[in-house]
Homo-oligomer: A and B are copies of this chain.
Amino acid sequence: MDLVGIEDVEAAAHRIAGLVVRTPLLSARWAREGSPLELKPESLQPTGAFKLRGASNAVARLDAEARARGVVTHSSGNHAQALAWAARAVGVRASIVMPEGASPTKIEATRALGAEVVLVPAAERESAADQIAARRGAVVVSPYDHRDVIAGQGTVGLEIVADRPDADTVLVPASGGGLVAGVAVALKARRPQARVIAVEPELAGDLAESMQRGERVRWSEEQTSRTIADGLRVTQVGALPWEHIRVLVDEVMTVSEEEIRAAMRLLAHGSRLVVEPSGAVAVAAYLSCTPARRLGRTVAVVSGGNVEPALLREVLGADLR
Protein backbone atom coordinates (compact mmCIF):
# COMPACT_ATOMS: atom_id res chain seq x y z
CA MET A 1 0.00 0.00 0.00
CA ASP A 2 1.14 3.50 -0.85
CA LEU A 3 1.58 5.33 2.44
CA VAL A 4 0.99 9.02 3.03
CA GLY A 5 4.35 10.75 2.58
CA ILE A 6 6.02 13.75 4.12
CA GLU A 7 5.35 15.69 0.91
CA ASP A 8 1.61 15.12 1.45
CA VAL A 9 1.89 16.46 4.99
CA GLU A 10 3.84 19.48 3.80
CA ALA A 11 1.27 20.20 1.11
CA ALA A 12 -1.45 19.92 3.76
CA ALA A 13 0.39 22.43 5.95
CA HIS A 14 0.37 24.99 3.13
CA ARG A 15 -3.28 24.30 2.38
CA ILE A 16 -4.57 24.73 5.93
CA ALA A 17 -2.36 27.63 7.04
CA GLY A 18 -4.72 30.39 8.17
CA LEU A 19 -7.61 27.94 8.58
CA VAL A 20 -6.31 26.36 11.78
CA VAL A 21 -4.40 27.70 14.79
CA ARG A 22 -0.63 27.27 14.68
CA THR A 23 -0.50 25.99 18.26
CA PRO A 24 2.66 26.71 20.29
CA LEU A 25 4.49 24.14 22.41
CA LEU A 26 3.87 24.83 26.11
CA SER A 27 6.54 23.82 28.55
CA ALA A 28 5.15 21.93 31.57
CA ARG A 29 6.59 23.23 34.83
CA TRP A 30 5.53 20.06 36.62
CA ALA A 31 7.67 17.78 34.44
CA ARG A 32 10.15 15.30 36.00
CA GLU A 33 13.91 15.88 36.14
CA GLY A 34 15.50 14.32 33.09
CA SER A 35 12.29 14.19 31.06
CA PRO A 36 11.33 17.75 30.15
CA LEU A 37 7.80 17.85 28.78
CA GLU A 38 6.09 20.14 26.32
CA LEU A 39 2.42 20.11 25.42
CA LYS A 40 0.94 20.58 21.95
CA PRO A 41 -2.45 22.07 22.87
CA GLU A 42 -4.78 21.16 20.00
CA SER A 43 -7.62 21.85 22.42
CA LEU A 44 -7.13 25.49 21.36
CA GLN A 45 -8.32 24.90 17.79
CA PRO A 46 -11.58 26.78 17.15
CA THR A 47 -13.62 23.57 17.23
CA GLY A 48 -11.66 22.36 20.26
CA ALA A 49 -9.70 19.50 18.67
CA PHE A 50 -7.02 18.55 16.12
CA LYS A 51 -9.73 17.15 13.83
CA LEU A 52 -10.01 20.54 12.14
CA ARG A 53 -6.65 19.95 10.47
CA GLY A 54 -7.61 16.79 8.62
CA ALA A 55 -11.09 18.03 7.76
CA SER A 56 -9.72 21.34 6.43
CA ASN A 57 -7.18 19.55 4.28
CA ALA A 58 -9.76 17.14 2.87
CA VAL A 59 -12.17 19.95 2.01
CA ALA A 60 -9.41 22.12 0.51
CA ARG A 61 -8.44 19.23 -1.79
CA LEU A 62 -11.89 19.03 -3.40
CA ASP A 63 -12.20 20.29 -6.97
CA ALA A 64 -14.90 22.79 -7.94
CA GLU A 65 -17.31 20.08 -9.02
CA ALA A 66 -16.99 18.15 -5.78
CA ARG A 67 -17.36 21.35 -3.76
CA ALA A 68 -20.66 22.02 -5.47
CA ARG A 69 -21.92 18.58 -4.42
CA GLY A 70 -20.88 18.98 -0.77
CA VAL A 71 -19.39 16.71 1.87
CA VAL A 72 -20.92 14.16 4.22
CA THR A 73 -19.74 12.16 7.22
CA HIS A 74 -21.09 10.31 10.20
CA SER A 75 -19.82 11.37 13.60
CA SER A 76 -21.22 12.53 16.88
CA GLY A 77 -17.93 13.87 18.09
CA ASN A 78 -15.14 16.26 17.25
CA HIS A 79 -14.98 15.30 13.57
CA ALA A 80 -18.59 16.43 13.01
CA GLN A 81 -17.91 19.99 14.09
CA ALA A 82 -14.52 20.02 12.39
CA LEU A 83 -16.00 19.08 9.02
CA ALA A 84 -18.87 21.52 9.46
CA TRP A 85 -16.40 24.32 10.28
CA ALA A 86 -14.02 23.43 7.43
CA ALA A 87 -16.88 23.26 4.92
CA ARG A 88 -18.39 26.55 6.02
CA ALA A 89 -14.99 28.25 5.74
CA VAL A 90 -15.00 27.65 1.99
CA GLY A 91 -18.74 27.75 1.36
CA VAL A 92 -19.28 24.01 0.91
CA ARG A 93 -22.46 22.24 2.05
CA ALA A 94 -21.89 19.71 4.85
CA SER A 95 -24.25 16.94 5.93
CA ILE A 96 -23.48 15.24 9.22
CA VAL A 97 -25.17 11.97 10.09
CA MET A 98 -25.60 11.57 13.85
CA PRO A 99 -27.17 8.85 15.97
CA GLU A 100 -30.59 9.75 17.37
CA GLY A 101 -29.20 9.58 20.90
CA ALA A 102 -26.48 12.18 20.31
CA SER A 103 -26.24 14.95 22.90
CA PRO A 104 -28.46 17.95 22.09
CA THR A 105 -25.47 20.21 22.80
CA LYS A 106 -23.45 18.58 20.05
CA ILE A 107 -26.32 18.54 17.57
CA GLU A 108 -26.94 22.22 18.24
CA ALA A 109 -23.24 23.11 17.95
CA THR A 110 -22.98 21.33 14.60
CA ARG A 111 -26.11 23.05 13.28
CA ALA A 112 -24.80 26.40 14.49
CA LEU A 113 -21.87 25.88 12.13
CA GLY A 114 -24.29 25.73 9.22
CA ALA A 115 -24.24 21.97 8.69
CA GLU A 116 -27.29 19.86 7.93
CA VAL A 117 -27.66 17.31 10.75
CA VAL A 118 -29.34 14.02 9.77
CA LEU A 119 -30.50 11.97 12.75
CA VAL A 120 -30.78 8.19 12.25
CA PRO A 121 -30.78 5.11 14.49
CA ALA A 122 -27.19 4.42 15.60
CA ALA A 123 -26.90 1.22 13.57
CA GLU A 124 -27.79 3.04 10.33
CA ARG A 125 -25.16 5.78 10.57
CA GLU A 126 -22.81 4.42 7.96
CA SER A 127 -25.46 3.42 5.47
CA ALA A 128 -27.24 6.75 5.86
CA ALA A 129 -24.02 8.61 5.05
CA ASP A 130 -23.45 6.37 2.06
CA GLN A 131 -26.98 7.01 0.81
CA ILE A 132 -26.50 10.76 1.00
CA ALA A 133 -23.25 10.36 -0.86
CA ALA A 134 -24.88 8.23 -3.56
CA ARG A 135 -27.94 10.45 -3.93
CA ARG A 136 -26.17 13.79 -4.14
CA GLY A 137 -22.73 12.78 -5.20
CA ALA A 138 -21.49 14.26 -1.91
CA VAL A 139 -17.94 13.33 -0.95
CA VAL A 140 -17.59 11.16 2.14
CA VAL A 141 -14.92 12.50 4.49
CA SER A 142 -14.12 9.74 6.96
CA PRO A 143 -12.81 10.88 10.35
CA TYR A 144 -9.57 8.91 9.94
CA ASP A 145 -9.63 6.36 7.13
CA HIS A 146 -8.72 8.90 4.47
CA ARG A 147 -5.35 9.96 3.02
CA ASP A 148 -6.09 13.69 3.12
CA VAL A 149 -7.26 13.46 6.71
CA ILE A 150 -4.10 11.62 7.79
CA ALA A 151 -1.95 14.16 5.94
CA GLY A 152 -3.81 17.01 7.64
CA GLN A 153 -3.39 15.54 11.12
CA GLY A 154 0.28 15.04 10.27
CA THR A 155 0.79 18.80 10.35
CA VAL A 156 0.74 18.45 14.14
CA GLY A 157 3.94 16.41 13.80
CA LEU A 158 5.48 18.86 11.35
CA GLU A 159 4.96 21.71 13.81
CA ILE A 160 6.38 19.67 16.68
CA VAL A 161 9.60 19.03 14.74
CA ALA A 162 9.82 22.66 13.68
CA ASP A 163 9.53 23.90 17.27
CA ARG A 164 11.43 21.09 18.96
CA PRO A 165 13.86 19.54 16.45
CA ASP A 166 15.59 17.67 19.28
CA ALA A 167 12.52 15.81 20.54
CA ASP A 168 13.25 12.30 21.83
CA THR A 169 9.70 11.07 22.47
CA VAL A 170 6.30 12.09 21.08
CA LEU A 171 3.18 10.79 22.83
CA VAL A 172 -0.01 10.79 20.74
CA PRO A 173 -3.58 9.72 21.57
CA ALA A 174 -4.87 6.93 19.32
CA SER A 175 -8.27 5.52 18.44
CA GLY A 176 -9.18 5.52 14.75
CA GLY A 177 -5.48 6.23 14.29
CA GLY A 178 -5.48 9.18 11.90
CA LEU A 179 -3.62 11.52 14.25
CA VAL A 180 -0.88 9.14 15.32
CA ALA A 181 -0.42 7.89 11.75
CA GLY A 182 0.03 11.42 10.43
CA VAL A 183 2.31 12.49 13.28
CA ALA A 184 4.45 9.38 12.75
CA VAL A 185 4.82 10.15 9.02
CA ALA A 186 6.15 13.62 9.88
CA LEU A 187 8.41 12.50 12.72
CA LYS A 188 9.97 9.54 10.96
CA ALA A 189 10.78 11.73 7.95
CA ARG A 190 12.18 14.67 9.89
CA ARG A 191 13.38 13.31 13.22
CA PRO A 192 13.70 9.52 12.85
CA GLN A 193 15.54 9.24 16.18
CA ALA A 194 12.40 10.27 18.06
CA ARG A 195 10.18 7.51 19.44
CA VAL A 196 6.53 7.89 18.49
CA ILE A 197 4.30 6.32 21.12
CA ALA A 198 0.56 5.84 20.58
CA VAL A 199 -1.55 6.05 23.75
CA GLU A 200 -5.01 4.65 24.39
CA PRO A 201 -7.14 3.81 27.44
CA GLU A 202 -6.68 0.29 28.86
CA LEU A 203 -10.44 -0.07 28.54
CA ALA A 204 -10.26 0.59 24.78
CA GLY A 205 -6.93 -1.11 24.16
CA ASP A 206 -7.58 -2.61 20.74
CA LEU A 207 -4.54 -0.94 19.17
CA ALA A 208 -2.15 -2.30 21.81
CA GLU A 209 -3.55 -5.77 21.17
CA SER A 210 -3.33 -5.24 17.42
CA MET A 211 0.34 -4.31 17.68
CA GLN A 212 1.07 -7.36 19.83
CA ARG A 213 -0.67 -9.69 17.41
CA GLY A 214 0.60 -7.96 14.31
CA GLU A 215 -2.91 -7.66 12.94
CA ARG A 216 -5.84 -5.32 13.35
CA VAL A 217 -8.24 -6.61 16.00
CA ARG A 218 -11.68 -5.32 16.85
CA TRP A 219 -13.07 -4.84 20.35
CA SER A 220 -16.77 -4.69 21.08
CA GLU A 221 -18.64 -1.44 21.70
CA GLU A 222 -19.51 -2.80 25.14
CA GLN A 223 -15.81 -2.93 25.88
CA THR A 224 -14.66 0.41 24.47
CA SER A 225 -17.65 2.33 25.82
CA ARG A 226 -16.39 1.69 29.37
CA THR A 227 -13.73 4.39 29.15
CA ILE A 228 -14.39 7.98 30.16
CA ALA A 229 -12.42 8.97 27.02
CA ASP A 230 -15.41 9.21 24.69
CA GLY A 231 -13.26 10.32 21.75
CA LEU A 232 -11.26 7.07 21.88
CA ARG A 233 -14.05 4.50 21.81
CA VAL A 234 -13.59 3.49 18.17
CA THR A 235 -13.60 -0.32 18.26
CA GLN A 236 -10.92 -0.88 15.64
CA VAL A 237 -8.15 1.25 14.22
CA GLY A 238 -8.82 2.32 10.63
CA ALA A 239 -7.38 0.20 7.83
CA LEU A 240 -5.35 3.01 6.30
CA PRO A 241 -4.01 4.42 9.61
CA TRP A 242 -3.08 0.86 10.59
CA GLU A 243 -0.79 0.45 7.57
CA HIS A 244 1.13 3.50 8.79
CA ILE A 245 1.06 2.69 12.49
CA ARG A 246 2.38 -0.87 12.12
CA VAL A 247 5.55 0.36 10.42
CA LEU A 248 6.05 3.88 11.82
CA VAL A 249 4.87 3.83 15.45
CA ASP A 250 7.41 2.50 17.95
CA GLU A 251 5.14 1.49 20.79
CA VAL A 252 1.62 1.58 22.18
CA MET A 253 1.00 2.50 25.83
CA THR A 254 -2.27 2.14 27.70
CA VAL A 255 -3.47 4.24 30.64
CA SER A 256 -6.01 3.68 33.39
CA GLU A 257 -9.16 5.73 33.96
CA GLU A 258 -7.70 7.17 37.16
CA GLU A 259 -4.55 8.20 35.32
CA ILE A 260 -6.68 10.01 32.72
CA ARG A 261 -8.56 11.92 35.43
CA ALA A 262 -5.34 12.83 37.22
CA ALA A 263 -3.88 14.14 33.96
CA MET A 264 -6.99 16.28 33.37
CA ARG A 265 -6.61 17.82 36.82
CA LEU A 266 -2.92 18.50 36.36
CA LEU A 267 -3.49 20.10 32.95
CA ALA A 268 -6.17 22.39 34.41
CA HIS A 269 -4.27 23.43 37.53
CA GLY A 270 -0.69 23.13 36.33
CA SER A 271 -0.96 24.20 32.69
CA ARG A 272 -4.25 26.12 32.65
CA LEU A 273 -5.80 23.99 29.91
CA VAL A 274 -9.32 22.59 29.89
CA VAL A 275 -8.91 19.16 28.33
CA GLU A 276 -11.33 16.36 27.53
CA PRO A 277 -10.49 12.83 28.75
CA SER A 278 -9.33 11.75 25.28
CA GLY A 279 -7.10 14.80 25.12
CA ALA A 280 -5.39 13.90 28.39
CA VAL A 281 -4.23 10.33 27.66
CA ALA A 282 -0.79 11.29 26.29
CA VAL A 283 -0.06 13.27 29.45
CA ALA A 284 -1.42 10.37 31.52
CA ALA A 285 1.11 8.11 29.79
CA TYR A 286 3.93 10.52 30.62
CA LEU A 287 2.86 10.57 34.27
CA SER A 288 2.60 6.78 34.41
CA CYS A 289 6.26 6.30 33.48
CA THR A 290 8.62 5.72 36.37
CA PRO A 291 11.64 8.03 36.57
CA ALA A 292 13.74 5.01 35.54
CA ARG A 293 12.19 5.19 32.11
CA ARG A 294 13.97 8.16 30.67
CA LEU A 295 11.78 9.56 27.94
CA GLY A 296 14.19 12.42 27.26
CA ARG A 297 12.77 15.53 25.64
CA THR A 298 9.11 14.70 25.39
CA VAL A 299 6.16 16.24 23.58
CA ALA A 300 2.61 15.16 24.48
CA VAL A 301 -0.19 15.95 22.06
CA VAL A 302 -3.20 17.34 23.96
CA SER A 303 -5.66 16.44 21.26
CA GLY A 304 -8.90 18.07 22.36
CA GLY A 305 -10.80 20.02 24.99
CA ASN A 306 -14.50 19.38 24.42
CA VAL A 307 -15.48 18.14 27.85
CA GLU A 308 -19.02 18.40 29.21
CA PRO A 309 -19.16 21.02 31.99
CA ALA A 310 -20.54 18.53 34.50
CA LEU A 311 -17.71 16.06 33.87
CA LEU A 312 -15.11 18.81 34.16
CA ARG A 313 -16.53 19.85 37.51
CA GLU A 314 -16.58 16.25 38.69
CA VAL A 315 -12.96 15.64 37.69
CA LEU A 316 -11.68 18.91 39.14
CA GLY A 317 -13.58 18.31 42.34
CA ALA A 318 -12.08 14.88 42.85
CA ASP A 319 -8.83 16.06 44.42
CA LEU A 320 -10.78 17.34 47.39
CA ARG A 321 -11.97 13.92 48.42
Contact = CB atoms under 8 A, between A and B. Distances in A.
B269 A309 contact: yes
Interface in A19-54: 21-24, 26-27, 29, 41, 43-44, 46-48
13 contacts: A21-B24, A29-B46, A41-B44, A44-B273, A268-B274, A268-B312, A269-B309, A272-B274, A272-B275, A273-B274, A312-B316, A313-B313, A316-B316
Contacts of A320: 310, 313
A176 interface: no
A214 interface: no
A316 B305 contact: no
A272 B46 contact: no
B44 A272 contact: yes
A305 B273 CA distance: 9
A63 interface: no
Given A23-B24, A316-B316, A48 B309 contact: no
A278 to B, nearest CB: 13
A319 interface: yes
A243 to B, nearest CB: 33
Interface string A279-294: 0000000000000000
Contacts of A305: 272
